[in-house]
Amino acid sequence: MRSELKARIAELLVWGVDPAKIIVDPGIGFSKTSAHNWALLGHLDDLVTLGCPILVGASRKKFIGELLFDEEANRDPATSVISVLSAQAGAWGVRVHDVASTKAALDVLGAWNKGAWS
């Protein structure tokens, strides 16, 4: 995946796209199995080395329900965890449905990392 995305970035640069305007979305959930999605998330830090902001859009995706063995499960708590782990791996942004819970989870991560809540 990394080499494919690197090639796409190079192509955009050849076409004259300003590098500051390139954001990489690895396409979590699109044409991938659950195993592919988890492998991609588990190696997200490798994509960060491409030098472009990484956007993770895992919110409420099917592979989360499969992990929970419940297709009807509330996937928002797991999405918040994925968002925090993505931030720790260096993701620039996350696309989510439940903004409030994800913001709270990311606020906790920020306080944790700073060792302070303010």
pLDDT tens string 78-111: 999 999 999 999 999 999 999 999 999 999 999 9
Domains parsed from the chain with CATH numbers: 2-9+23-114 (3.20.20.20)
61 flagged as catalytic? yes
Cα separation, 113 vs 109, in Å, equals: 6
Cα separation, 43 vs 41, in Å, equals: 5
Whole-model pTM: value is 0.92
**Chain-wide mean pLDDT for the chain?**
95
Catalytic residue among 2, 95, 103, 114: 95
pLDDT digits (tens, 9 = 90+) for 21-41: 999 999 999 999 999 999 999
Q: What is the DSSP string of 30-97?
A: SS--HHHHHHHHHTHHHHHTTSS-BEE--TT-HHHHHHTT-TTS--HHHHHHHHHHHHHHT-SEE--S
Among candidate residues 98, 97, 94, the one with its CA nearest the CA of residue 56: 94
Catalytic residue among 61, 62, 75, 103: 61
Residue type, 109: L
8 flagged as catalytic? no
